[in-house]
């Protein structure tokens, strides 16, 4: 009887601290149950990577259809992601003396994560595929949980996707996670210190995004180079962004949601001051402005394309948010937080390493 291995990996929301994960910072993120990617692995005589009929288009109605598809969806679907994680997984196992059997498989995938919404749809595909490979080769116990997000990131880096570890940590661990990427940890361990938090500490949150984003910020950012060059404004601002996550952890533990709202708004304001409106894109800025117009707190879920919103005044404010979004064509959804995936189902529990509580990056 053929055993099919299936794994889902969920979209993620960066609640506080992003994008400081790329700058030895701190973040709080959680896995988003509204959207996911699913990967299936079934044994086969030859190793096959199956294209998805909706996301790996090769047939078009016309040349005009092809061009429009490329302009909205880009050149690539998920096949390249599956191929990349296979290579990264094989290479890691070889370099670390982990023996793999020689049986073959077929990988296929599907996803409902909206494109260009900053919800980590690509890494959801990769992390789900990694879980399938861990189970197929029965090596889950040999590859540390802390290392798995690095493998996902390495696969995406091979394809030229520039990102940090935050998204992959949230998707590998699941639930609500506080992450400390301080340089001392990254240099010594090769990964950050990750701590599970009770997802019930979160207040009701909402997600807003555009169904067909046309302006997601196309201008290249110089922030990374400025940071590398020692730009004092960027360094100090990124340090403050990281400290928002540190303060946010305390606010959540105390259920101080007034403070949480302040931190969310400050996170966006700092990002805007560093990156500028041309990089952020008019549509992304409009999402935040619409949320703030009804008195809600809002920030990007990631690099732009969607916003996470907190309405401190409750249902009446949520209704005003929905009405305001409807007027400009934004979609609003209530956020569903997934529980942690690392429980008795995984031989490695979520690390509970004590965190260095210093508030600097």
Q: 147-201, pLDDT tens digit by residue? A: 999 999 999 988 888 788 999 999 999 999 999 999 999 999 999 999 999 999 9
pLDDT at 53: 74
**Alpha-carbon span 266 to 244, nearest angstrom:** 8
pLDDT at 160: 83
Q: What is the full DSSP assignment across 156-218?
A: HHHTT----SHHHHHHHHBSEEEEE--HHHHHHHSS-EEEEE-GGGSPPEEEEEESS-S-S--
How confident is the model over 81-112, as pLDDT tens digits?
999 999 999 999 999 999 999 999 999 999 99
pLDDT at 282: 93
φ, ψ at 259 (rounded to 5°): -65, -40
| 167 flagged as catalytic | yes
Strand partners, 205: 310
pLDDT at 355: 39
pLDDT at 343: 54
Which pairing describes strands 297-300 and 306-310: parallel, antiparallel, or unpaired?
antiparallel
How confident is the model over 63-72, as pLDDT tens digits?
988 888 777 7
| Nearest-10 crossing angle of helices 315-328, 282-293 | 150
pLDDT band at 54 (very low <50, low <70, confident <90, very high): confident
pLDDT at 322: 97
pLDDT at 75: 62
pLDDT at 216: 45
Instruction: Point out the catalytic residue in the list 167, 180, 198, 215.
Output: 167
**Alpha-carbon span 349 to 131, nearest angstrom:** 15
φ, ψ at 41 (rounded to 5°): -125, 125
Q: What number is the average pLDDT over the span 21-27? A: 94
- Domains of the chain, with CATH numbers? 5-200 (3.30.230.10), 205-334 (3.30.70.890)
Q: Model's pTM, two decimal places?
A: 0.89
pLDDT tops 50 at residue 344: no
Closest Cα partner for 201 from 135, 242, 252? 252
pLDDT band at 215 (very low <50, low <70, confident <90, very high): very low
């Amino acid at each position: 009887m053929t055993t099919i291995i299936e794994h889902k990996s969920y979209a993620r929301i960066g609640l506080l601290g992003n994008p400081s994960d790329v700058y030895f910072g701190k973040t709080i993120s959680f896995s988003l149950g509204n959207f996911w990617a699913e990967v299936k692995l079934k044994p086969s005589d030859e190793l096959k990577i199956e294209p998805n009929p909706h996301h790996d288009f090769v047939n078009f109605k016309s040349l005009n259809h092809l061009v429009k598809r490329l302009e909205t969806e880009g050149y690539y679907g998920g096949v390249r992601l599956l191929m990349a994680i296979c290579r990264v997984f094989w290479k890691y196992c070889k370099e670390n003396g982990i023996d793999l059997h020689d049986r073959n498989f077929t990988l296929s995938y599907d996803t409902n994560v909206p494109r260009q919404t900053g919800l980590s749809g690509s890494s959801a595909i990769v992390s789900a595929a990694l879980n399938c490979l861990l189970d197929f080769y029965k090596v889950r116990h040999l590859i540390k949980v802390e290392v798995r997000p690095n493998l996902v990131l390495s696969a995406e880096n091979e394809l030229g996707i520039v990102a940090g570890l935050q998204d992959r940590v949230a998707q590998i661990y699941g639930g609500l996670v506080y992450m400390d990427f301080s340089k001392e940890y990254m240099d010594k361990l090769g990964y950050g210190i990750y701590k599970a938090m009770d997802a019930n500490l979160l207040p009701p949150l909402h997600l807003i995004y555009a169904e067909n984003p046309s302006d997601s910020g196309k201008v290249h950012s110089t922030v990374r180079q400025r940071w590398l060059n020692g730009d004092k404004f960027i360094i100090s601002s990124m340090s403050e962004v990281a400290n928002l996550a540190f303060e946010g952890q305390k606010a959540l533990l105390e259920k101080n949601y007034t403070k949480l709202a302040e931190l969310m708004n400050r996170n966006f304001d700092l990002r805007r001051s560093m990156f500028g409106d041309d990089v952020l894109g008019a549509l992304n800025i409009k999402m935040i402005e619409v949320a703030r117009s009804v008195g809600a707190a809002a920030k990007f879920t990631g690099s732009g394309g969607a916003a996470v919103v907190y309405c401190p005044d409750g249902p009446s404010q949520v209704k005003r948010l929905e009405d305001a979004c409807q007027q400009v064509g934004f979609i609003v959804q209530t956020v569903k937080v997934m529980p942690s995936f690392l429980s008795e189902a995984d031989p490695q529990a979520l690390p509970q390493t004590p965190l260095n509580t210093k508030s600097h990056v």
